[in-house]
Structure 1
Amino acid sequence: MPADHCPTGAEAVDRLLGGGLETDSLTEIYGEGGTGKTVFCLAVTCRVARTGRWVFYIDTEGVSADRLTATAGEDREAVLSHLLLSSPKSLDEQGRAVATACTLAREGKRPVGLIVLDSATHYYRLARPDAVEDEARQALALQIADLVATALGVGVPVLFTNQVYRSMREGTIEPLGGSFLNHAAKTILRFDRGSGDRRRTVLLKHRSLPEGSAEFRITPSGVA
């Protein structure tokens, strides 16, 4: 695989992305619940940690220890020894976790191979509506800006998930967060449910690749 990509472990997705996640930018995944967003993030996390690089995983959704252990498989000790897991309970705590992740990546004392924010908009959604939403949007924008600067500055891939809402006007499922999230992410993927363990990912935005789609499977050990 090219040195400027981080393979995900799902071969069809990696082909769609030209080798994997770009290492100097943000990749956004959005989709309804049950489409495999967190499973995908955990699979990429374990793959990176197995190489001896550190992963900073910011979990706002309550990832279960059983799911993480199952995804890590026989390598769980090696994976867990290179995983920094933060579970913020508010948007402010999320901001501090993002700042810590970015600082660690920039310092270079530990080789950080991936930053995951799952999901970026959980607490933002809880802060809506009205004036509080404006404050939450500004706080989230600052967090995303820090992640963008870190990815670009030190070449670490950033993967974040996004919740969705149904647009009554368009009758479509849309990602939360407005235009600033879509602008910040250089790669945007939508995950859709398929039959059984199958999922479909749609590439909606990329700096150098055309739109397209690929299928992958949810497995006991992650994705394939």
Structure 2
Amino acid sequence: MSEILLEELDHVGPATAQKLNDAGYNSVEAVAVASPSELVATAEIGESTAAKIISAARSAADIGGFETGDFVMQRRMEVGKLRTGCEEFDELMGGGIETQSITEMYGEFGSGKTQIAHQLAVNTQLPKEMGGLDGSVIIIDTENTFRPERIEHMVAGLSHKFEQDFDPAEFLKNIHVARAYNSNHQILLVDAATEMANKLKNTDKPVRLVIVDSLTAHFRAEYVGRGTLADRQQKLNKHLHDLQRFGDLNNASVIVTNQVMSKPDAFFGDPTRPIGGHILGHTATFRLYIRKSKGDKRIVKLVDSPCLPDGEAVACITTDGLCDA
């Protein structure tokens, strides 16, 4: 499928192909899942031409038509499962964190969201038989929370667990971190991540995990007051769809962490609510609520999933990383 060149599509000449490449549409699949308005804005072509190019790309990539359920089931077999290091957590997630989906983790500060993200960045690089995805990782860091020292601790923990000598330097080489300074920069970094994924596609460590920690920090700081809410949600929606597309095209897991707010008018139950509204709630495939328990224990609650029952798991965050309670 990926052997088809953009120049081979109907209505795409060398100049248009170059513009599409420059705009980040490096493959027929990427063009097939784009909207005409996106191509109009990035490749400076007419809307009718853009629609024809997308139609040709969909035919070439065999995307966009109806399929029978057994074909969908066959395609689902390609979905990978990334193990967390905690058996109870993995069982809650039906075997691990899925690729081709967005998993949102929300909770109060200090609940362990970033720690779990660090652990997944390490585990992704393990071979599949050890519960990894045998791939590399991209981290979009919005709150300056990435710590290479923590990766070293967790790699040492894996060395003890599997009784093998893993090299922390090798793990750090396969983690590509970018600091996002504002929401626009954060959105642009998804395009940069797409370019990096294309470079690494045919290597022995293709990109199999993208982490955005945290998804909503910049949006929350920059869009203040009810008057800016519509703009904020529109931008957040596009950002999430770009991440979902990245996950689909690269068979990668997408992990986003989210901040919370407290509802002081809630008389019953937990007053903690994730921010981002319904747009984030509808777009995230899996929603996990992380909260503190005694000592190093954390309660992981599956709040929403398209195919799994709600439930809870207990995990421990130790110096060696995530483990069973």
Q: TM-score if structure 2 supplies the norm length?
A: 0.64
- Residue 184 of structure 1 is matched in structure 2 by 283
Among 181, 187, 198, the alignment partner of 2:297 is: 198
AA matched with 1:222: G
Asked if 2 retains the 8 angstrom alpha-carbon contact of 1:106 and 1:150, the reply is no
The percent identity for this pair of structures is 30
- Residue 67 of structure 1 is matched in structure 2 by 150
- Residue 102 of structure 1 is matched in structure 2 by 194
Among 214, 238, 243, the alignment partner of 1:147 is: 243
Cα distance in 2 between the residues matched to 1:50 and 1:5: 12
Asked if 2 retains the 8 angstrom alpha-carbon contact of 1:105 and 1:156, the reply is no
Cα shift at 1:207:
1.4
3-state secondary structure, aligned to 1:49:
coil
Asked if 1 retains the 8 angstrom alpha-carbon contact of 2:208 and 2:250, the reply is no
- Residue 42 of structure 1 is matched in structure 2 by 118
Among 95, 99, 102, the alignment partner of 1:23 is: 99
3-state secondary structure, aligned to 2:124:
helix
* 1:76 matched to 2:152: no
1:119-144 CA-partner distances (Å, limit 9, x unpaired) = 10010110132344433332222111
Cα shift at 1:190:
0.3
- Residue 218 of structure 2 is matched in structure 1 by 123
Among 128, 136, 142, the alignment partner of 1:54 is: 136
1:43-93 CA-partner distances (Å, limit 9, x unpaired) = 010111244411001111212333233233353111111110011111111
Cα distance in 1 between the residues matched to 2:308 and 2:207: 26
* 1:157 matched to 2:233: no
Structure 2 gaps, min length 5: 1-76, 128-133, 157-165
Cα distance in 1 between the residues matched to 2:149 and 2:98: 29
Cα shift at 1:15:
0.8
- Residue 134 of structure 1 is matched in structure 2 by 230
**Larger proportion of strand:** 1
- Residue 312 of structure 2 is matched in structure 1 by 213
Cα distance in 1 between the residues matched to 2:191 and 2:90: 29
Q: Out of 135-144 and 171-180, give the one that drifted further.
A: 135-144
3-state secondary structure, aligned to 1:120:
coil
Number of matched pairs? 223
Asked if 2 retains the 8 angstrom alpha-carbon contact of 1:49 and 1:83, the reply is no
Cα distance in 1 between the residues matched to 2:198 and 2:309: 32
Cα distance in 1 between the residues matched to 2:264 and 2:224: 17
Cα distance in 1 between the residues matched to 2:126 and 2:152: 13
AA matched with 1:54: S
- Residue 88 of structure 1 is matched in structure 2 by 180
Cα distance in 2 between the residues matched to 1:179 and 1:20: 25
Cα distance in 2 between the residues matched to 1:80 and 1:210: 35
- Residue 273 of structure 2 is matched in structure 1 by 174
Cα distance in 2 between the residues matched to 1:200 and 1:109: 38
Q: Out of 118-127 and 128-137, give the one that drifted further.
A: 128-137
Cα distance in 2 between the residues matched to 1:93 and 1:132: 19
**Larger proportion of helix:** 2
3-state secondary structure, aligned to 2:116:
helix
Cα distance in 1 between the residues matched to 2:312 and 2:144: 29
Q: Quickly say closer, same or farther: Cα 1:72–1:139, change in 2 above 3 A.
A: farther
